[in-house]
């Protein structure tokens, strides 16, 4: 079995793959990272491990120690100029986030046409992948929850509270939720215009807020469980 890890800013997402399909997936909060040792203990024998880590060296070191205890050698990916059907047009290709690189590869594996690759987690990223597999660039903005938290933290009278999405809100809680959601939707839909005229163009949407965003997007959208893990599988298949 192969173990794939997507180590984000808030959670570690893991997947177990046998070369033909997923045999298990799950997630662990980084604030409870020690619990991943128990997850590892229940996964059986692991032959190879490949991961994308944007949480930093300290988290990577802790995970490395857990894996070493299971006699597994960790391997962390780095973005490339070109590989796995994707060309990286970042001005400094190595500075692209490892998670964004893996997500682009996962997107290319799942969809052969143009796509806007969106990950909606602690941050929201929207990356343009054209029909030839060229990553043309993308944007990063605070994620949906982070937007709401910033209002609660930095204003005196806008608390972090439950609200609902309303087209024209008439109470503060709804105004906050609706405003933050509209900002996310607007950014995604504007970025989608860059590929929208290409045949079969789609927004490939993943991340913790995907289920909240998807029903409101006014562009073709496909929700994917974890594009980073899908990309890592593709990389491992060609290793």
- How far is residue 74's CA from residue 60's CA, in Å, rounded to a whole number? 9
Predicted local confidence at residue 31, as pLDDT: 95
145 included as an active-site residue? no
Of 2, 6, 99, 127, catalytic: 99
Q: Does 118 share its domain with 212?
A: yes
- Asked whether residue 127 falls in the same domain as residue 218, the answer is yes
Helix, coil or strand: residue 68: helix
Q: CB neighbours of 31 closer than 8 A, spacing ≥ 6? A: none
The predicted pLDDT at position 162 comes to 81
Residue 16 confidence (pLDDT) above 90: yes
The answer on 121 and 215 residing in a single domain is yes
* pLDDT (average), residues 34-42: 93
| 137 lies in the same domain as 185 | yes
Distance spanning both ends of the chain, measured CA to CA: 15
The CATH number of the domain where 122 resides is what?
3.30.420.40
Beta bridge mates, 126? 118, 139
pLDDT, residue 213, reads: 97
Q: Which residue has the higher pLDDT, 162 or 29?
A: 29
**Domain match, 148 and 210 both:** yes
Q: Residue 92 contacts by C-beta under 8 Å, 6 or more apart in sequence?
A: none
Confidence band for 173, pLDDT divided at 50, 70 and 90? confident
0.75 exceeded by pTM: yes
Q: Cα separation of 81 and 61, whole Å?
A: 26
Final residue of a structural domain among 76, 98, 132: 76
Please give the average per-residue pLDDT across 67-83, as a whole number: 95
66 with 144, same domain: the answer is no
Q: Which of 89-103, 145-159, 214-228 has the lowest mean pLDDT?
A: 145-159
72 and 138 assigned to the same domain: no
Task: Please report whether residue 237 resides in a domain.
Answer: no
Residue 182, H or E segment: helix 172-192
Contact 6, 51 (CB under 8 A): yes
**In which band, very low, low, confident or very high, does the pLDDT at 155 lie, cut at 50, 70 and 90?**
confident
Which of 53, 76, 99 is the last residue in one of the domains? Answer: 76
Q: What is the mean pLDDT of the chain?
A: 94
Select from 76, 94, 125 the last residue of a domain. Answer: 76
Any domain includes 107: no
> Region 7-23: what's the mean pLDDT?
94
123, part of any domain = yes
Per the domain annotation, does 37 fall within a domain?
A: yes
Residue showing tokens 């997107």 = 107
Question: Is residue 64 assigned to a domain?
Answer: yes
Per-residue pLDDT, 124: 97
Task: Examine the pLDDT at 206 and tell me if it is beyond 90.
Answer: yes
Q: Both 70 and 136 in a single domain?
A: no
Specify whether 158 is located in the same domain as 56: no
Give the pLDDT band of residue 37 (cuts 50, 70, 90).
very high
Count of structural domains within the chain = 2
pLDDT over 90 (residue 151): no
- Give the highest mean pLDDT range of 153-162, 173-182, 190-199: 190-199
Structure tokens at 189: 């839909």
Q: Which domain holds residue 71?
A: 2-76
Region 78-97 average pLDDT: 97
134: Cα within 13 Å, side-chain hemisphere: 5
Whether residue 156 is contained in a domain is answered as yes
- Would you state the pLDDT for residue 160? 75
Same domain, 126 and 58: no
pLDDT over 90 (residue 239):
no
In a domain, residue 218? The reply is yes
Q: What is the mean pLDDT of residues 197-204?
A: 96
The answer as to whether 86 is a domain residue is no
């Amino acid at each position: 079995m192969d173990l794939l890890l997507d180590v984000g800013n808030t959670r570690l997402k893991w997947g177990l793959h046998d070369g033909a399909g997923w045999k298990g997936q799950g997630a662990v909060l980084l604030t409870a990272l020690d619990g991943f040792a128990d997850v590892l203990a229940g996964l059986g024998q692991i032959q190879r491990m490949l991961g994308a880590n944007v949480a930093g060296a300290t988290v990577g070191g802790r995970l490395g120690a857990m894996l070493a205890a299971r006699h597994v050698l960790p391997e962390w990916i780095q973005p490339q100029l070109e590989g796995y059907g994707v060309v990286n047009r970042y001005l400094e290709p190595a500075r692209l986030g490892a998670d964004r690189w893996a997500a682009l590869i996962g997107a290319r594996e799942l969809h052969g046409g143009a796509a806007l690759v969106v990950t909606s987690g602690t941050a929201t990223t929207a990356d343009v992948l054209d029909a030839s597999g060229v990553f043309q660039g993308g944007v990063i903005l605070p994620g949906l929850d982070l937007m709401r938290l910033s209002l609660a933290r930095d204003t005196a009278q806008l608390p972090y509270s439950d609200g609902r999405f309303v087209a024209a809100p008439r109470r503060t809680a709804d105004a906050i939720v609706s405003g933050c959601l509209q900002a996310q939707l607007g950014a995604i839909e504007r970025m989608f215009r860059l590929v929208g005229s290409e045949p079969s163009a789609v927004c490939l949407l993943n991340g913790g807020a995907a289920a909240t965003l998807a029903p409101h997007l006014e562009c073709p959208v496909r929700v994917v469980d974890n594009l980073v893990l899908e990309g890592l599988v593709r990389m491992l298949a060609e290793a």
